[in-house]
Amino acid sequence: MTTVPALADLNFVVIPLLSTSHLIPLTDMAKLLAQQGVTVTLVTTPLNAARFTAAIDRAIRSGLVIRVVELQFRAKEAGLPEGCENHNDVPGLKYRRQFFAAIDMLQEQAEKLFEEMKPKPSCIISDAYVAWTAETADKFQIPRIVFDGMSCFTQMCMHSLYIMRDQNKIPESGPFVIPDLPDRIEVTKAQLPPHFNPARAIFIQDIREKIRTAQNRAYGVVINTFEELEQRYVDKFQKLKNGRVWCIGPLSLCNNDDLDKAQRGNKSTFDKEDSLTKWLDSWQPESVVFACFGSLGRMTVVQFVELALGLEASGYPFILVIKAGEGQTPIEGWISENGFEERTKERGLLIRDWTPQVLILSHPAIGGFLTHCGWNSTVEGISAGVPMITWPLFAEQFLNERFLVHVLNIAAGVGSQAIVHLGEEEKFEVQVTNKAVTDAIEKVMDKEKEGNEMRKRARELGEMAKRAVEGDGSSYLNVTLLIKEIQDFQLNQSAKNANAQACDVLV
């Protein structure tokens, strides 16, 4: 007789892409699953594990069963510089092909571990960009649930766009409406992700197609969203995926205390979170603009100048995050030559490299979030109940912008017109003027007119997000349902195996 496996005997193997903005939500997801009593095995590499050790160790000390297993990342063998283990560290992004080759090399090691794992793996929660997990799931006869970091809205946009692309129907220029969506969403080809608007410098279209094929044959999908946020799109996506979509976000809300929020992702260069909080405490509620462009967003110096001057001219206090690394020297040169930092020091705070974004967004002084519209940032802004100023840069960020501005009505755009593909930043001159930046900030921060409406809606959505992850909320329930699905799968599998054995005995 087969019995229902106990929760702790279910082992959810979580395999993130080695990229900061994928590791962050999947680490949150590991905690979320473990909070409901299952065993979670997080598979990564030594340098990436170091990024979230503190947070995971705290979760383990609190009683969660999370195991971190480290695979050796063979950077040199794949043609990458030694020590380059994270997509964000790939120099100039010109080594992306090598990076994905190194990701493929993890398969053999991972499968050896799978054989020895106790409890036996029950399912793989795989980053969609780690395509080999499809074969591994087949070999071990377990379900593979994919996570690609996008919303249901964007999934449905992409679905329609693939159909258009395959029929050669995406116009080369000019705006067009994405078909078969509940809302009228207008875009241009130049604003679309590389799947439909390929970058010239970094040609990895074949890798993208391999990922897509593996993604399409996954058992199911987990989404960092909550149903109430985009119900019509969730329903459509559920239909497309035969009901195997679990909306379990906002994932960032599993970080309840300030230390968890502060240590999410990389270590902040801000030495004392305390002084940051003190700075924020010194401002009126909802008065500060927080400008941050994710883990990968880079600007040319000319575009940065417009951003900085636009923030300054708005007159609002602000935090501006400046990414360190390649190409940033001219920006630092301009800041000191122009005297920008000195001139705005009474109400502007420049943070170099990494900032504790979720901690900052949760502070009552934050009144607007100037974002590049990466989906993590978008959903974090929504969770914080903050209206947004949108400046999409690359990937599917223009679609996320459309969602914020045209579906949710909680944001105003700075008017960027085209994708700046990663690694091609220098090809683009100024797209957005400082006046456009100031105008969008004023529209959102204005407490009287349109801004007031946006703020009210944003606050309501923030409350809905928090309710979704509570004990009787939709996302909490969806985690339970996902676990139940895996439990049932395992039970059926054991029953099938028992039957097969019984037949073997009979013949």
What are the residues binding ligand UDP (CB under 6 A)?
20-21, 24, 264-265, 292, 294-297, 321, 354-358, 374-377, 380
Report the residue number, 264 or 402, with the smaller CB distance to ligand UDP: 264
Give the separation between CA 224 and CA 468, rounded to whole angstroms. Answer: 12
Is there a catalytic annotation at residue 22? yes
How many angstroms separate the Cα of 54 from the Cα of each of 1, 30, 41? Answer: 43, 14, 16
Q: What is the DSSP string of 111-148?
A: HHHHHH-SSPEEEEEEETT-TTHHHHHHHHT--EEEE-
Q: How far apart are CA 337 and CA 332, in angstroms?
A: 9
165-170 CB contacts, 8 Å cutoff, 24+ apart? 165/195, 165/196, 170/196
Rounded Cα distance between 170 and 165, Å, is 6
Q: How is residue 294 annotated by DSSP? A: T
Q: Which residue is nearest to ligand UDP (CB)?
A: 374
Cα gap 484→487, rounded to integer Å: 5
Provide the minimum distance between the beta carbon of 25 and ligand UDP in the complex, in angstroms, as a whole number: 7
We find the least distance from the C-beta atom of residue 358 to ligand UDP, in angstroms, to be: 5
Q: How many other β-carbons are positioned within 10 Å of the β-carbon of residue 81?
A: 12
The answer to whether 5 and 30 are in contact (CB under 8 A) is no
Nearer to ligand UDP, 21 or 136 (CB): 21
Q: Spell 248-262 as b/e; 16+ CB within 10 A means b.
A: bbbbbbbbeeeebbb
From the list 157, 69, 149, the residue with the least C-alpha distance to 113 is 69
CA distances from 187 to 232, 337, 428 (A): 20, 38, 19
Question: Smallest Cα–Cα separation from 376: which of 454, 443, 297?
Answer: 297
Residue with smaller CB distance to ligand UDP, 51 or 438: 51
Cα 189 to Cα 419: distance, rounded to the nearest angstrom: 9
N-term to C-term CA, the chain: 20
Considering beta carbons, is residue 294 or 317 the nearer one to ligand UDP? 294
From the candidates 28, 87, 89, 127, give the one annotated as an active-site residue.
127
Q: Return the structure tokens found at 259.
A: 């230390």
Phi and psi angles of residue 121, each rounded to the nearest 5 degrees, phi first: -55, 135
Residue 300 or 355 with smaller CB distance to ligand UDP: 355
Catalytic status, residue 439: no
Question: What's the CA gap between 124 and 144, in Å, rounded?
Answer: 5
Comparing CA positions, the residue from 37, 151, 113, 107 lying closest to residue 479 is: 37
Closest CA to 103 of 51, 43, 147: 43
Q: Which residues contact 272 (CB under 8 A, 6 or more apart)?
A: none
Q: Which residues are catalytic?
A: 22, 127
